[in-house]
Amino acid sequence: MDWLRLPRLGRDTIWLYSSALIVAAAGLIKLRQGVVDYAYTETYCYQSVRTNSAVEPYVNCFSVSPTGKFSKVFRAGADTDLARNASSGFAMPGLWDGHGHLLQYGEFLNSVDLFGSTSMDDVRSRVRKYLDRNPGAGSKEEWLRGVGWDQMVLGKMPTASDLAVDKELKDLYIMLDRVDVHCIWVSQAVLDLLPESIPDVPGGEVVREPGMGVFCDNAMDMVMGLWPKPDNKKKEQFVKSAMGKLNEVGLVGIHDAGVTPGNLNLFKELAGGPDWTVRVYAMIECYERNTFCPDEVERYTSPDGFLSIQSVKLFADGALGSWGSALIDPYTDRPDTSGSLLVNASELVYDTIAWANEGYQVNIHAIGDLANRHAVDAMVAALRLLCPYEPLSRCQSRHRFRIEHSQIIHPDDQARIHAIGIIPSIQPTHATSDMTYAEKRLGKERTAKEAYRMRSLLDAKPVLGSDFPVEPPNPFQGIYAAVTRRSPHTGRGTEDSPDGWYAEEALELDQAIRGFTEGPAYGGFTKSKTGIIKPGAFADWIVLDAPLDSLDIEELRELKVRETWVGGKKVYSRD
Ligand SMILES: *[C@@H]1O[C@H](CO)[C@@H](O)[C@H](O)[C@H]1NC(C)=O
Ligand SMILES: *[C@@H]1O[C@H](CO)[C@@H](O)[C@H](O)[C@H]1NC(C)=O
Ligand SMILES: [Zn+2]
C-alpha cells in the first residue's frame, strides 16, 4: 500500500506533511468556531421593540451576540417565521437609575422599613416585628438598623427615650436613618458610647431638644465611627438582594452616588460574577467627604461594562427636610437660618479642579440655591482652567460635570447651567415627596421660580433617577412623577389635589423615558452602549405587557415588568 512507502520519505518531508495537516486542522476548527459563533447568536422577536434610536425607532426583532451585545436590529416581515413566532410582549431598552445607593439599598432591604411610619408606636412596633424575624439584632456587635422615619410625620423630633419606653428595645443598640438619610436617630445604648458632653459640629447638627438621640449631616460622623460596619460577606448579601429588586422593576444599570474606596474594591471583586446583574457606574466618595483622595482609588472600566469608576461625588450641602440645604436667603419657615454648607466655596473649587485635572467627572450634591451656585462656580472655575482656549460648553461636553439633585436653583444659575450644559441629575419623586412642605420652607415665589425644575432644565440633558433607598427605585414611578408632577403613591398633587404640582415643569412621556435611558448614558459616558437597542450596544432590555406610550398614564403607578435582560441573559421573569 502506498502509505507503507511513507517511512521511506525523509524526516523533513514527514515533518512538513504533518505540519500542513495541523495547519489544515486548525483552519477547520477555526471555521467551525465561526459557525458555532453564528449559531450562538440568538434572535429575539416581540410584538414590537422600541429602540430609542432615531434611525429606526420601532422594529420587532434583534439578535444578540455571545458577548452580550446587540449584533443586529431589524424588522422581520409579517409573513416570516420570525414574526409569526414572535414572543408576546413589548421590548424596550433596559432602564437606568441615574442616582441611587446600592449598598444602602441592600442594607435597607435587610433592615427595618420605617417608610410611611405614622407615629412613635408605629416605629416601635415595626422594630419589634423586625426583632422577631431577626433574633439577636441590636447587639453591640450588630446594631439594629432601620431607615425611613420623618419627624414631620411623627409630630416631633424623636429622642433616645422614645425607643427606651419599650422594654424590649430599652437596652438594644439601634440606629435609624431619617427618610433622607441626612440624620440618624439612636438608642440610649449608642448614646452611652459617646463622650459625656457632646460638642457641636460644623456642617452638622446635634439635636438637643426635646432630648438627645438625633444627629444630622456632619454630626453623624461621630456615631458612624462607632458603628460596627457590616463585613464584606454581609455587603455581598446586600448587593445581591439589591440587584434582584432593581432587576425586578426594570433597571439594568445604576449610577451609584457615592462609594468609598474599600467598597469600590469589593465591587471590583463582585462585578461580573453571577449575582452582579446590574451595571454600576460608581462615583467615588473619599472616606473623608469633600477631599481629594486619588491615591485610594483608580480609574476602572470592566470590559464587559458591569462596573465603571471614573467619577467622584462631592457634597455642597444637606437636605431641605431638615433645613440643612444651603439657601441664599433664609428659610421662609425659619428666618433664623439659611441652612449650612458642608464645605466652603474655596474648598469646593479646589476639590473640583483637583479631581477634574486627574480626569475624573465631578458630581456635586447640591440642594439649596446657595449650594447650587457654589457648584456652578466650582465647575466654571475648573472648566476655565482645564480648557483656557475653548468655550466652556465644549469643554463641559467632554468633562460632563453634574449637579446631583439640582433642587433649588436661582434663575441666574439656571441660565448658567443652560449656557454651559452642566448636567442636572434630578429625582422626579423627590419633587412629589417634598411638595407637601417645600413651599413652607421656601415661600411661594422662590418655589415658583427656583424649585424642582424639570422641563425648564430639559435641554441640559438631565439624568433622572430615584435616590433609592430614599425613594423606591421603581423607574416607572419616577416617569409618572415627571410626567404628572403628582405622587405615584396617591396619584394626587398637594393636599389631595387632582392637579400636578407646578405642572408647567412636567415632562412629556418620551422625555421622561429618555431621562432614564439616554440621560444616564450621556451623564455616565456610555452613550450608544446603554439605554438604546442598536448594534454594538449592550444587550439590556425589558419586556412589558403593553407599549409604554399606549398606556393610560395612571397605569404606570402599578406597572409590573414582565422580563428583564442584562448582557443577553434573562435576570428577572415575573412568571
Ligand atoms: C416558527 O414556527 C414554525 C411552526 O410553528 C416552526 O416550524 C419554525 O421552526 C419556527 N421558526 C423559528 C425561527 O423559530
Ligand atoms: C475653607 O475650608 C478649608 C478646609 O476646611 C480651610 O482650610 C479654609 O481656611 C477655608 N477657607 C475659608 C475662606 O474659610
Ligand atoms: Zn443620594
Residue 319 has pLDDT above 70, yes or no: yes
> 224, 253, 285: which is the final residue of a domain?
224
- Same domain as 301, residue 194: no
pLDDT bucket at 459, cuts 50 / 70 / 90: confident
Residue 68 lies in a domain: no
**347 touches ligand 2 (CB under 6 Å):** yes
Task: Answer yes or no: is 444 within a domain.
Answer: yes
Confidence of residue 38 (pLDDT cuts 50, 70, 90): low
Residue 393 near residue 421, CB atoms below 8 Å: yes
Q: pLDDT confidence of 33, banded at 50, 70, 90?
A: very low
Q: Quick check: 5 pLDDT over 60?
A: no
Please state the atom number of ligand 2 nearest to the C-alpha of residue 343: 2
Cα of 221 vs centre of ligand 3, distance in Å, is 17
Task: Among 200, 224, 248, identify where a domain stops.
Answer: 224
The best mutation among 79, 81, 82, 84 to test binding of ligand 1, ranked by most ligand atoms within 8 Å of the C-beta, falls on 81
**Domain assignment present for 83:** no
- Where among 208, 224, 240 does a domain terminate? 224
The response to whether residue 221 sits with its C-beta less than 6 Å from ligand 2 reads no
Average pLDDT for 420-449: 96
- Over residues 478-488, the mean pLDDT reads 97
State whether 405 and 426 are in the same domain.
yes
- Judge whether 59 lies within some domain: no
Q: Which atom of ligand 1 is the closest one to the Cα of 82?
A: 13
How many residues does the structure list for the chain? 575
Task: For residues 273 and 417, state if they share a domain.
Answer: yes
26 located within any domain: yes
Whether residues 218 and 237 share a domain: the answer is no
pLDDT value of residue 203: 84
CA of 344 to the centre of ligand 2 (A): 6
Kindly state whether residue 174 falls inside one of the protein's structural domains.
yes
pLDDT for 19 equals 52
For residue 201, which phi and psi values (nearest 5 degrees)? -125, 125
Q: Are residues 268 and 211 in the same domain?
A: no
Residue 82 near ligand 1, beta carbon < 6 Å: yes
Note whether residue 98 is domain-resident: no
- Per residue in 181-208, pLDDT (tens digit) is 889 999 999 999 999 999 999 888 999 9
pTM score: 0.86
Residues 271 and 347 in one domain: yes
| Closest listed residue to residue 84, CA positions, set 39, 49, 46, 51 | 46
pLDDT digits (tens, 9 = 90+) for 200-241: 998 889 999 999 999 998 999 999 999 999 999 999 999 999
Looking at residue 39, its pLDDT comes to 59
Contact 377, 422 (CB under 8 A): no
CA of 425, nearest ligand number = 3
Residue 63 confidence (pLDDT) above 70: yes
Kindly tell me if the per-residue pLDDT of 14 is higher than 80: no
Cβ-based neighbour number of residue 480 at 10 Å: 28
- Based on the domain organization, do 237 and 166 belong to the same domain? no
Q: Is 344 in the pocket of ligand 2 (CB under 6 A)?
A: yes
Biggest alpha carbon–alpha carbon distance for the chain: 108
Same structural domain, 395 and 499: yes
pLDDT of residue 575: 85
Say if residue 125 is in the same domain as residue 150. yes
Q: 320 φ, ψ to 5°?
A: -70, -40
What CATH code is carried by the domain that includes residue 155? 3.10.310.70
Grade residue 31 by pLDDT with cuts at 50, 70 and 90.
very low
Phi-psi region of 365 (alpha: psi -120 to 50; beta: other; left: phi over 0): beta
| Residue 30, pLDDT above cutoff 80 | no
Domain count, the chain: 3
Q: What percent of the chain has pLDDT over 70?
A: 93
Question: Which CATH number do you get for residue 515?
Answer: 3.20.20.140
Does 316 map to a domain? yes
Kindly state whether residues 252 and 178 are assigned to the same domain.
Answer: no
In this structure, the answer to whether residues 197 and 255 fall within a common structural domain is no
Residue percentage of the chain with pLDDT more than 90 = 87
Give residue-wise pLDDT tens across range 372-407. 999 999 999 999 999 999 999 999 999 999 999 999
Mean pLDDT of 432-459: 94
Whose CA is closest to 457, among 423, 408, 410? 423
pLDDT in tens, 116-134: 999 999 999 999 999 999 9
| Mean pLDDT of all residues in 527-550 | 97
Torsion angle (degrees, nearest 10) of CA 286, 463, 394, 409: -80
Query: 322: pLDDT confidence band, cut at 50, 70 and 90?
Result: confident
CA distance 178 to 324: 13
* Nearest alpha-carbon partner for 477 in 533, 526, 432: 432
What sign results for the dihedral spanned by CA atoms 153, 156, 159, 165? negative
Residues 360, 245 within the same domain? yes
Q: The domain containing residue 15 runs over which residues? A: 3-39
> What is residue 180's predicted lDDT score, i.e. its pLDDT?
83
